[in-house]
Structure 1
Amino acid sequence: MSRTLAAAPSEPVVVPERVCLLAGDDDVTPVWRNVLGGLTFRLSAADGAQRYVKWVPAGTPELDLDAEAARLAWAGRYTPVPRVLDRGDDDEGGWLLTAGLPGRSAVDPHWLARPETAARAIGAGLRAMHGALPADGCPFSWGVADRVARLSPDARARVGDVPAVDRLVVCHGDPCAPNTLLDDDGRWTAHVDLDALGVADRWADLAVASYSLEWNYGDGYEPAFFEGYGIAPDAGRIAFYRRLWDLG
């Protein structure tokens, strides 16, 4: 993954037929696109209820909706994440339909204008998630050994020595700022996009979540993030896990 993996669509989007069928009479709004062709749509009902559809083109194995559905079902027993309503495939692609959640993305314009509050809430939300999900009972891994083993020989040499584990937790796996939802008072409400969730050192999440603040808000907001999480930065672990993120 990289900092350019996904963005809100800036050009017209053709809505797949399956998304139209799932929407019924709901309004359909494209809200996210990734570089592999995956799309996320918001389905808005007349009564204000919202659902979300992730859709990926057929033959895109890098985007595993079954993996995300399984992780959401497991994590939803312990912490606020999207509830899976439907999962399927057809000749055009695959889809994952989930219920909407309270709050708005930490990169909503409302929070782009209040970055320090958002950064602190992202840290607090990640700490809460790490505390709520039981690492001993988690069937999924985001372990550093497996991630390093998937690198090319050149990248493996460049990433450097793996640091000692600080604390194993169930990591989000893609803890960038857009994947935390906040209420209007600046408190985290839920996490989304958990297709890589799994057990790993907490610094695998901390390094990348804090890294993403610069991409989304600019410089200067890491102190608020680490204050929200309640931990002092560990420069060595941060540097390693950021290199692993960039090289992977």
Structure 2
Amino acid sequence: MSIPADPVPVPELVRDLARGAALECVWINGAGGKTFRATPADGDVFYIKWGPRGDETTMRAEAERMTWAARWIRTPAVLDQGEDDTHEWLVTAAIDGESAVAPRWIAEPATAVRAVGEGLRMLHDALPVEECPWDWGVPSRITNAAVRGIRVPEHLQDAPSVDRLVVCHADACCPNTLLADDGSALAFVDLGALGTADRWADIAVASMSTEWNYGPGWEDALIEAYGVEPDRERLAYYRDLWNAT
């Protein structure tokens, strides 16, 4: 996943969804998905997420989870969602914030890492486990991987005991937290797999992603900002599970 360095061709469907708004591709992923910022001549900015239909998470699932989570945390409002035989799309309202990996925050890693850690704790504390209809626990992740033809290694079949059951973001990498202008966590995106699981499933991935985005040395700073001591066993397990699935 990355911010494109060169102009990206705009799919015809995205042009239709933009309704004449100026388009700029702001994010691409390895599966062929693209996210465009749409700026109308008169009206509010919105975003169009477009990509090939997948079998792990769908934009329909993401729209459902965003709408549910928005009762307790800030997420972009869903304006439209749909799919055809080959592709799917999600249209959301803009939020006045930037990804934690926008150039400004890449240049201020201490601020960004702290915000992502504090934001993740805020998300875990706010979303009610008892009302969440989705599961992201280890058994369901292993089953999902098997459906996609992925064999999870034997040593990952038995998970550590659950430290604290929360509603996990399920893709808590740093780019998926939006920051306010003052450097605080503002909102969350890419919630397509959101569900209940041990909080370390999110903490492990969020802290691991700091190296991808800001360089080495920031993992424990994120965990400190979250407000816990590093649990090396759970961190290692959930990072291996993430990489395996």
Deviations 1:171-213 (A, max 9, x none): 0000000000111211010000000100000000000000000
1:238 counterpart SS class: helix
Match of 1:30 in 2: 25
- Which of 181, 189, 192 aligns to 1:195? It is 192
One-letter identity of the residue aligned with 2:15 = C
Query: Is 1:137 aligned to 2:104, yes or no?
Result: no
Pair 160,235 (structure 1): closer, same or farther in 2 beyond 3 Å: farther
Match of 2:72 in 1: 78
Match of 1:18 in 2: 13
Query: In the aligned structure 2, how far is the partner of 1:207 from the partner of 1:213?
Result: 10
CA contact (8 A) 2:170 2:194 kept: yes
Q: CA deviation at 1:169?
A: 0.4
Match of 1:123 in 2: 117
One-letter identity of the residue aligned with 1:176 = C
In structure 2, list runs of 5 or more residues that go unmatched.
none
Query: In the aligned structure 1, how far is the partner of 2:153 from the partner of 2:54?
Result: 25
Q: CA deviation at 1:65?
A: 1.1
Q: CA deviation at 1:35?
A: 1.7
The equivalences for 1:101-116 within 5 A come to 101-116=95-110
Pair 225,64 (structure 1): closer, same or farther in 2 beyond 3 Å: same
In structure 1, list runs of 5 or more residues that go unmatched.
1-5
Query: In the aligned structure 2, how far is the partner of 1:105 from the partner of 1:19?
Result: 22
Misfit runs of 4+, over 4 Å: 151-154
One-letter identity of the residue aligned with 1:245 = W
Query: In the aligned structure 2, how far is the partner of 1:153 from the partner of 1:193?
Result: 22
TM-score for both structures, normalised by structure 1:
0.91
**RMSD of equivalent CA atoms:** 1.8
CA contact (8 A) 1:105 1:179 kept: yes
Query: Is 1:159 aligned to 2:167, yes or no?
Result: no
Query: Is 1:146 aligned to 2:140, yes or no?
Result: yes
